[in-house]
Amino acid sequence: MRAAWSPGEATARTRLRHFLDDALSRYRQERDLPAIDATSRLSPHLAFGEISPRQIWSAATGRGHSAAVEKFLAELGWREFSYNLLFHFGDLAQRNFRPEFDTFPWMSQDGEEAASAVEAWRRGRTGFPIVDAGMRELWSTGWMHNRVRMIAASFLTKDLLVDWRIGERWFWDTLVDADPASNASGWQWVAGSGADAAPYFRVFNPVLQGEKFDPAGDYVRRWVPELANLPAKTIHQPWAAAQPPPPDVYPARVVDHAAARARALGAFRTVKKVA
């Protein structure tokens, strides 16, 4: 973490300037690609008050009103929307924004199987490379690319059917940019229980997400080095490789995604009936 981050207002201003000079023009096209440094990485500085949203907004609009600038400002706006939610709903990290989710049939965390699955998720050993890469990046640096955060959160809440609050607390403990607004609202968005939430039927396929946003597998190779020698066509589904890595090298999948998706959709349908 010391190698990845330098705290302070001066560092925040330098990071903002470098982003505006070097990455802003390609932000709209590359912001979802975790292997490429195309995001501002200002979130830790925002979380600790080392730079303000107004400073960032002013500096970005000073570069004109291109599509890239507008997209970046829209993402900054999402952060402020989260703080508006927190202002009006102070228990955002503890309570479902949509009360019908109070009846959602999350998997019980008392069983050994559930506890093992959550631990595999935390340690980046789910058997799904894009999820594992993100969780290992988080553990090593205190940060995770935003696209991968959504994939990892969807995997926990929908593939594993684990209560979003468990993931929210883990991110709160491990993210260098964790704040009470964005963390809680982001988790509720993915889980489907939040304001302007993702549709209940949106269950990210970790293989397809990896193939779309890390097509060459560079991000996975960096954080899951035991898969580094796999070709791009199988690196996001190593079980399909001509010579799959043995379980003592890389773990087997903790769930079958297709079956987990069907289970999640069934659980969501019970919520719709209550609503």
Catalytic residue among 5, 57, 100, 106: 106
Q: Kindly name the residue from 5, 139, 146, 211 that is annotated as catalytic.
A: 146
Distances (CA, A) of 249 to 66, 117, 125, 266: 47, 18, 11, 34
Q: Which of 121, 143, 170, 187 is catalytic?
A: 187
Which residue among the candidates 96, 121, 137, 164 is catalytic per the annotation?
Answer: 164
Is 75 one of the catalytic residues? yes
- d(CA 186, CA 188) in angstroms, rounded, equals 5
Per the annotation, the verdict on 121 as an active-site residue is: no
Q: Where are the alpha helices (DSSP H) in the chain?
A: 9-18, 27-30, 43-47, 53-61, 67-88, 112-123, 129-141, 146-154, 164-174, 182-191, 206-213, 218-223, 257-274
SS3 state of residue 266: helix
Active-site annotation holds for 183: no
| Catalytic annotation, pick one of 70, 75, 113, 119 | 75
Catalytic residue among 9, 70, 78, 239: 78
Q: Catalytic: 96? A: no
Q: Is 205 a catalytic residue?
A: no
Output the furthest CA–CA distance in the chain (Å, rounded): 55
Whether 5 is a known active-site residue: answer no
Residues annotated as catalytic (active site), given as ranges = 75, 78, 106, 146, 164, 187
